[in-house]
Chain A
Amino acid sequence: MRWVFMLTLCWSVVGCAVSPRQFRQSLGPGPGPGCVSTVDCQCKDGVVVACEQLGTVPRPRVPPPLPPPGAAEEAREKETERRRDSCGDDYVRCIDAGGGSLAGRVEGESRCDSCRAYCMAHGFWPTDIYNWNAKPLTCPGK
């Protein structure tokens, strides 16, 4: 009976001296090289849940391939060209429909000019644009 009491006392004292994190680590496999803990290792391996536990962001293992130099500019130029063509087609329709003699949003600008400016900026021909009084103005031809 006395031995049992001593054993329980000893275990509880030793148990309290070990932190929960150390205790958990003592159960699992030890951390690998370059890791602080097993969870740290898992995070470095890209396990998102492990990184969430540590409060860090997982790093992608392989960095995404970089676009070739000048590719972004080329794509932008291509898009501008596309817009010029498409907005130009709608501009012609707008003129044919009589929009060339309607006032635009700005003094001296026709309706078709304003609609084309919107199209070039936003990438589509609108059915209406809004003037400075927030009133819809029709973009003819669609």
Chain B
Amino acid sequence: MSGKMKEAFADPSLHDPHWRAFILDMENMSARGDWRRFRAGLRRLERRHAGHVPAASMHRALAEDAFLCAAHWEQAPRIVRGALRALLRYPLRFALYSFVAAEYWRWASQVSPADLPAAEAMLAEVREALPSLDEHERWNTEGLLASLKR
């Protein structure tokens, strides 16, 4: 497991009303099909919640949302690669890193085969870390990896 994954800082709890408001706001914001409008919405969201929630956690959550939407909405390679680069600047916990690797692979296999080697490399990192995980997390990660074959 890379040092970056181990260093991942924890997000505030959903019991924290400010963090909860931020998460709900983010989840309710959608502009599928209009990427510019979606990015503008994320910037507005950032301004609205700045100062109420920890900046690092908020920026990481926004980067995660942007990447997952870009991949799931099958955006162009330039957009998805940029969103992934932005997200990987933050330390991610192992489960999130694995999920992001899987989503990147799914997107690459459907939209951009040129990205498959990079996605495979991320998944290889995940597979390498399997022996170091506890039984429960290993089960979850193996299930995630198995879902990619189906």
Q: Which residues of A contact B (CB under 8 A)?
A: 82, 86, 89-90, 97-99, 102, 122-128, 130-131, 133-138, 140, 142
Contact = CB atoms under 8 A, between A and B. Distances in A.
Contacts of A138: 23, 27
Contacts, number: 65
A102 B24 contact: yes
A125 B72 contact: no
- Interface bracket on B: 20 to 34
Contacts of B132: none
Given A124-B147, A133-B32, A138-B23, A86 B140 contact: yes
Given A124-B147, A142-B96, 7 more contacts: A90-B140, A97-B13, A98-B13, A122-B147, A126-B99, A133-B30, A138-B27
Contact of B143 (A123, A135, A136): A123
B27 A137 contact: yes
Interface of B: 13-15, 20, 23-24, 27-30, 32, 64-65, 68-69, 72-73, 93, 95-96, 99, 136, 139-144, 146-147
Contacts of A142: 93, 95-96, 140
A128 B66 CA distance: 13
